[in-house]
């Protein structure tokens, strides 16, 4: 019902029973609150990236956005103390014949304060220069008492090859040395709530994943990922990283923005027990979904099988295997070969075509 630009939200007594709820006034989404019998009506879209304030929670007189927890005063719409000028519209309301009416005409204006740009929030254009190789080791160990890691040893052999044979710059990221939070499921709230830079990176400037994002998205042309096999799967740190990379894949889903262009992935999988094909297959699917390319024969692997419980021997085999270390060097060479060809491809319009254009858009959470 529209009474002289006043929208009827419903029975005031009924509406007062919920501390915070989302209501519609025409096409306006509102956050309606009621504390101690006193209503407040502010706009329902958060200043950050549009989270539904009416579906949030109340903290005193502040509405807490359910997506990334920005706060706005439930009556005035002003941001939390210190951020008052970051405000959402506040609406006039009144009760008439037991009904709660709101006017969308007399709303205050929205104001967004400029927020400092996150360092990762920039163009993904490749910096000029020779090919660059990053290795990501996902194995876990006590850094104070290191052990020989078969996957990491092969990765180091491949990186040495890049430096010694090809005179290229390399970097090695050991995930175990980074402090970072597991994905907290912003995508599960809404695809729009999973942002680039990652919501966690934006809230935590010391987020260790920044090193992975910086090297994977911006710096490297070749990414070598090494993992042990743990109970038939890649390491738990690998999956912790993979979940945090949903922010990269989600940019394709949301904006058709392919952030990993012309980048090549090579995989190193070793395990005291088997399941090489499943581990490598999962990793190939994942990095393929991020937009990475693979060389011919994209992984090397080693396992002595299900019954090989004598792990010391497993370590010795990898340590002394010329074939495996040569394989790591050859994997690196294949990755570089493809990366070089991608950099000099004469048909960029084809390789840069977005997935939405080809009808392939989808998300793998």
Nearest-Å Rg of the Cα atoms of the chain is 26
By C-beta, is 78 or 223 nearer to ligand FES? 78
For residue 168, state whether it binds ligand FES (rule: CB under 6 A).
no
Choices 15-23, 46-54, 149-157, 223-231 (CB under 6 A): range interacting with ligand FES: 46-54
Count the alpha carbons within 13 Å of 207 in the hemisphere toward its beta carbon.
22
Alpha helices in 207-321 (DSSP H): 209-213, 236-244, 246-255, 276-289, 311-320
For residue 68, state whether it binds ligand FES (rule: CB under 6 A).
yes
By C-beta, is 31 or 300 nearer to ligand FES? 31
Element (H, E) at 326: helix 322-343
Of residues 134, 117, 110, the one with CA closest to residue 53 = 110
CB of 30 to ligand FES, least distance (A): 15
Distance CA 59, CA 63 (A): 6
For residue 65, state whether it binds ligand FES (rule: CB under 6 A).
yes
CB of 107 to ligand FES, least distance (A): 19
Number of residues that bind ligand FES (CB under 6 A): 10
* Cβ burial 235-263 (10 Å sphere, 16+ → b, else e): bebbbbbbebbbbbbbbbbeeeebbbbbb
Q: Tokens at residue 35, please?
A: 């504390």
Adjacent-strand bridge partners of 212: none
Distance CA 233, CA 223 (A): 20
Choices 48-56, 161-169, 279-287, 353-361 (CB under 6 A): range interacting with ligand FES: 48-56
Of residues 6, 7, 67, 213, which one binds ligand FES by CB under 6 A?
67
Decide if 271 contacts 228 (C-beta within 8 A). Answer: yes
CB of 75 to ligand FES, least distance (A): 18
For residue 74, state whether it binds ligand FES (rule: CB under 6 A).
no
Of residues 95, 79, 92, 87, the one with CA closest to residue 37 = 95
Choices 15-23, 43-51, 121-129, 221-229 (CB under 6 A): range interacting with ligand FES: 43-51
Of residues 260, 239, 238, the one with CA closest to residue 249 = 260
By C-beta, is 46 or 229 nearer to ligand FES? 46
For residue 239, state whether it binds ligand FES (rule: CB under 6 A).
no
CB of 364 to ligand FES, least distance (A): 23
For residue 64, state whether it binds ligand FES (rule: CB under 6 A).
no
Instruction: Identify the burial level of 80 via C-beta atoms within 10 angstroms of its C-beta, where 0-12 means exposed, 13-18 middle and 19 or more buried.
Output: middle
For residue 46, state whether it binds ligand FES (rule: CB under 6 A).
yes
By C-beta, is 49 or 172 nearer to ligand FES? 49
By C-beta, is 5 or 118 nearer to ligand FES? 118
Q: How far is CA 318 from the centre of its chain?
A: 34
Footprint (CB under 6 A) of ligand FES, residues 179-208: none
Residue 65 contacts by C-beta under 8 Å, 6 or more apart in sequence? Answer: 46, 48, 51, 52, 53, 56, 71, 72
Choices 42-50, 75-83, 321-329, 347-355 (CB under 6 A): range interacting with ligand FES: 42-50
Of residues 15, 35, 49, 284, which one binds ligand FES by CB under 6 A?
49
Of residues 7, 20, 32, 48, which one binds ligand FES by CB under 6 A?
48
CB of 126 to ligand FES, least distance (A): 30
Tell whether the torsion through CA atoms of 167, 120, 265 and 137 is positive or negative.
positive
Choices 68-76, 155-163, 206-214, 348-356 (CB under 6 A): range interacting with ligand FES: 68-76
Question: Can you give the binding site for ligand FES, defined by CB under 6 A?
Answer: 46, 48-51, 65, 67-70
């Amino acid at each position: 019902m529209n009474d002289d630009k006043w929208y009827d939200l419903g029975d005031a007594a009924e509406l007062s029973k919920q501390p915070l709820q989302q209501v519609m006034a025409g096409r306006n989404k509102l956050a309606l609150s009621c504390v101690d019998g006193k209503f407040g009506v502010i706009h329902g879209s958060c200043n950050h990236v549009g989270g539904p304030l009416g579906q949030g929670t109340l903290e005193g007189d502040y509405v807490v956005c359910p997506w990334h927890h920005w706060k706005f005063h439930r009556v005035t719409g002003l941001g939390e103390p210190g951020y008052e000028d970051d405000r959402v519209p506040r609406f006039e309301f009144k009760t008439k014949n037991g009904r709660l009416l709101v006017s969308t005409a007399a709303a205050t204006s929205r104001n967004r304060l400029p927020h400092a740009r996150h360092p990762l929030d920039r163009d993904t254009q490749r910096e000029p220069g020779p090919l660059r190789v990053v290795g990501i080791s996902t194995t876990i160990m006590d850094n104070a008492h290191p052990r020989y890691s078969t996957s990491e040893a092969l990765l180091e052999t491949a990186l040495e090859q890049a430096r010694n044979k090809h005179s290229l710059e390399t970097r090695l990221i050991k995930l175990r040395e980074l402090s970072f939070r597991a994905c907290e499921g912003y995508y599960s709230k809404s695809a729009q709530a999973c942002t680039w830079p990652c919501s966690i990176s934006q809230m935590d400037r010391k987020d260790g994943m920044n090193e992975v994002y910086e090297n994977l998205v911006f710096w490297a042309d070749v990414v070598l990922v090494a993992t042990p096999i743990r109970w038939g799967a890649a390491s738990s740190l690998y999956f912790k990283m993979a979940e945090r990379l949903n922010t990269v894949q989600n940019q394709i889903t949301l904006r058709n923005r392919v952030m990993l262009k012309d980048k090549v992935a090579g995989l190193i999988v070793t395990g005291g027990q088997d399941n090489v094909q499943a581990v490598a297959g999962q990793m190939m699917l994942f990095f393929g979904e991020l937009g990475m390319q693979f060389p011919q024969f994209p992984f090397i692997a080693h396992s002595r099988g299900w019954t090989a419980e004598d792990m010391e021997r497993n370590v010795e085999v990898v340590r002394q295997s010329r074939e495996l270390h040569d394989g790591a060097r050859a994997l690196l060479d294949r990755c570089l070969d493809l990366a070089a060809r991608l950099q000099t491809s004469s048909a960029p319009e084809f390789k840069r075509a977005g997935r939405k254009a080809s009808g392939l858009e989808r998300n793998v959470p």
